[in-house]
Structure 1
Amino acid sequence: MTLEDYVKKILNSRVYEAARETPLEFAKNLSHRLDNEIWIKREDLQPVFSFKIRGAYNRMALLSDEERERGVICASAGNHAQGVAYAAHQLKTRAVIVMPKTTPDIKVQAVRSHGGKYVKVVLHGDAFDEASEHSRKLMDEQGLTYIHPYDDPDTIAGQGTIAREILHQHNQPLDAIFVCVGGGGLAAGIAAYIKYLRPEIKVIGVEFEESACLAAAMVAGKPVKLEQVGIFADGAAVAQVGAEAWKVCQHHIDEVITVTADEICAAVKDMFDDTRSIAEPAGALALAGMKKYVERDSTTGETYVAICSGANMNFDRLAFVSEQAELGEKREAILAVTIPERPGAFREFCSTVGKRPVTEFNYRYDDDQAANIFVGIKVEDAAEKEALIEALRQVDYKVLDLSENEIAKTHIRHMVGGKSHHAADEVLYRFEFPERPGALMNFLRTLGGRWNISLFHYRNHGDAYGRVLCAFQVPEAQRDEFGDKLEQVGYTYWAESDNPVYRMFL
């Protein structure tokens, strides 16, 4: 497949039998703030609220009569499942869609609603890998055609129709297009069309830092499988870039930018401010990467397009996104400040902070001489945060910046309230628990029966993983044995006993 081959496929794509040409909207607020001309391609306005309808429909529309008669199958817990279901209904083709048992009911119902009588949803396994394996088994047993979410030339061509629309809608000079990367199908489709017709336009891939499979492939010179994938941006949580997508991306993606969860949350807020719509985390990836690119290179007066790839946001994740957005934008400082334990000290502290809004304040009496307070303060940018810290230190307050401290942001701010003077030999760990039945019991069966748990805090905002902070009382002589047991549990973990925020508040 050459670029010319892909352009022909894109121009002959049948996506518009099901998908719509989405608007390219000018982002007035972002453009003013970043001093560049910013446009957002609104793929969140597709019938299934995601670009996935393009590739799924194009692939299925090109099935032979025999293949269509037998039916299709896919495994997905998200946007691809809805795209296949919608296409199945439009084409009157039987489709089997395998989803993990842990898939939120709202997504299962959306798939059934889009597909109607043509779609059968099979719930299997507690994780996606189990669902995917089962789908392959059903494919072989029933002679179904597998509809891959990204690693197929017809799927890639369907996604590439977005690039055709961008060039049609914006015929003025354009410096770069930012596109989210999961398995690489969307990025390959965009790059193939743009680099064939307008090679001077940069095509920049954007990945969540915990699922950056294209960035890893660029370094290795070939697709590599990530050992672990973070699923906050679940719509782009792929362990290895697709083989077909890689053939295009390795030569025609100009660079890959990785972003943090906080930066994604900030981009969701920016998207809302300009459009009053709420992008899902993967949907805001491109915008987050564009902002990082502007900050890194200090660009001004350029013109960029960011593709908003979807808006299938879990409602229960909104609280987390809102909470982290200000941190991602560097408009909130999370600080630990030590002040004297005496009457009037808090008033003096507030006087130093000035008129800056305090977003939260946590404190509990513990010592006659000094008080450790956990405080969130709104600031305009990173420079103002540094000025605030310097002002506090000028009046002899001890200040620790916790704005990038993961357990401070995720756990401590919700737990501040007391230390234990009885938890001898305590060690602290941060975990990611898979959000499936039996996950906690597996953890407790391996560790909880042998060592006393002296602290436990769990949080989840719609992720497939719960965030857990846990402390155990482990005598020094048993630390090696404890370490072996941690490995047996099989969950991702980080040792946090030396984290200064733990010492100050817990």
Structure 2
Amino acid sequence: MNMKNRTVDFPSLYGVEEARKTLENVIHTTPLQKSFRLSKQSGADIFLKREDMQPVRSYKIRGAYNKIYNLYKEDKTGNGIVCASAGNHAQGVAFACRKLKINGTIFMPVTTPKQKLEQVAMFGEKYVEIKLIGDTFDDSKNAAIQYSKSYGAEFIHPFDDVEIIEGQATLAMEILEQTEDPIDFVFVPLGGGGLAAGIITVFSVLSPKTKIIVVEPKGAASMKASLEAGVNTELLHIDKFVDGAAVQKVGDLTFEICKDHIHECLAVDEGKVCETLLEVYNKDAMVLEPAGALTIAALDLYKQQIAGKNIVCIVSGSNNDITRTEEIKERAMLYKGLKHYFIVKFPQRPGALKEFVLHVLGTSDDITFFEYTKRNSRETASAIVGIEVPSFSDFEGLLRRMKEAGYYESYLNDSPNMMNILI
């Protein structure tokens, strides 16, 4: 990869510098803040690059505006532009459309959180039209590409594009200017790979000793799968919870740039991401979206390697929907082993539930879910019961007492598909 001169195929430092000029009066130079809590917790110096403080509350504005402005200068936006996005790229595109007075059509998954839809409409005003297509980003992307072919609108890829990558890379330039000390590790959230490719474009030349750690959600670890296979690989099924980073396949260009420069690719459990979201909100007063918490969530997985080092975690966005709070809490508690779901056998007689409460539950255990229908034609009937325990160590005692008293039928936490159907 030629980093010294701009080429058609790969991003370059020249292109990054040009992108900085384009973005000069458009974006914020976001803070690089030391987190004393995370530093103490991990035994390292942890700095957070706060891209959640951009005008559209994510770094995506960098690449989107850079790409669209260059098309605008070349007089290629007469038929409008079109893009696909799970939310943050769409907001950057909408912002650019309004500022440059360009018509844009934005395809988004039907599952996109309402908050992100409202933000896109707000930033784009009369210049954008939103079309909800499919369940995943990839469904929306295919629809957007077809629209581009049919109407001649320029397709603005969210990550697999040289000028998009160069826009995202301006973030890396800022990081290097904001610290005098050498950076040992940069933790980068990864969905399609545009941000990681931008970080590599800059750091491989200006700070080659810095190790690049990319972080994906466990349920959509497409880069990890691709690195293990040696070729860019599409996942058949993904968990869409971390919507800002849940893609079935990373970009072909971004894979080529990343594959030889990533020090390690980490896959973080969605439950750990939820635990981190709640923690940074309660302890640091930071409201992040799931993708924005990926790098912080990964620190525990890498605690031994980063001890005593200078670490930068890119906090990529804060476009979270408050209506998701209950789901976030639920996933966090399941991950920490504090909430457990069972199918319980209850005798069909009065007082059975009272006996269960007195003889099976611990003094601090709490029933949080209960679904039961009495059937007089049977001696026992099954109920679905959710129980919250004070700590994970209390689970074994609960399970033992349930079995000894004859109430136990099955444990649903080990069968997530069944649990999703029943609860």
Taking structure 2 as the reference length, the TM-score comes to: 0.81
Amino acid at match of 2:422: L
Match of 1:259 in 2: 268
Q: 5+ unaligned residues in a row in structure 1: which ranges?
A: 380-384, 408-428, 431-456, 458-466, 471-506
- CA distance in 2 between counterparts of 1:343 and 1:326 reads 26
Contact 2:291 2:316 in 1 (8 A): yes
- CA distance in 2 between counterparts of 1:298 and 1:126 reads 41
Query: SS of 2:294's equivalent?
Result: helix
Q: 1:278 aligns with which of 282, 287, 290?
A: 287
- CA distance in 1 between counterparts of 2:110 and 2:17 reads 39
Q: 1:145 aligns with which of 114, 130, 154?
A: 154
Confirm whether residue 303 of structure 1 aligns to residue 272 of structure 2. Answer: no
How high is the sequence identity, in percent, across the aligned residues? Answer: 32
Distance 1:270 1:201, change over 3 A: farther
Amino acid at match of 1:10: V
Distance 1:26 1:192, change over 3 A: same
- CA distance in 1 between counterparts of 2:143 and 2:384 reads 53
Matches within 5 A, 1:392-431: 405=414, 407=416, 430=418
Residue 122 of structure 1: how far off its partner (Å): 4.3
1:304-335 CA-to-partner distances (Å, cap 9, x unmatched) read: 2221111111222111112232444x373648
1:134-167 CA-to-partner distances (Å, cap 9, x unmatched) read: 4233323332211110001111111111111222
Query: SS of 1:96's equivalent?
Result: strand
Distance 1:272 1:406, change over 3 A: farther
Confirm whether residue 86 of structure 1 aligns to residue 92 of structure 2. Answer: no
Contact 1:30 1:274 in 2 (8 A): no
Distance 1:378 1:307, change over 3 A: farther
Distance 1:323 1:133, change over 3 A: closer
Q: Which moved more, 1:59-68 or 1:82-91?
A: 59-68
Q: 1:31 aligns with which of 1, 20, 39?
A: 39
Matches within 5 A, 1:159-178: 159-178=168-187
Q: 2:57 aligns with which of 26, 37, 49?
A: 49
- CA distance in 2 between counterparts of 1:29 and 1:238 reads 32
**RMSD, aligned α-carbons:** 3.5
Matches within 5 A, 1:209-248: 209-248=218-257
Contact 1:160 1:190 in 2 (8 A): yes
Contact 2:292 2:317 in 1 (8 A): yes
Query: SS of 1:378's equivalent?
Result: coil
Query: SS of 2:202's equivalent?
Result: helix
1:470-491 CA-to-partner distances (Å, cap 9, x unmatched) read: 9xxxxxxxxxxxxxxxxxxxxx
Q: Which moved more, 1:302-311 or 1:217-226?
A: 302-311
- CA distance in 2 between counterparts of 1:107 and 1:342 reads 44
Match of 2:349 in 1: none
Residue 174 of structure 1: how far off its partner (Å): 2.5
1:232-260 CA-to-partner distances (Å, cap 9, x unmatched) read: 11111111111111121001111100011
Q: Which has the higher contact order (CA 8 A, sep 6+)?
A: 2
Amino acid at match of 1:15: L
How many residues align? The count is: 398
Matches within 5 A, 1:113-124: 113-117=122-126, 119-123=127-131
Amino acid at match of 1:469: L
- CA distance in 2 between counterparts of 1:189 and 1:344 reads 61
Match of 2:70 in 1: 62
Amino acid at match of 1:54: R
Q: 5+ unaligned residues in a row in structure 2: which ranges?
A: 6-11, 346-351
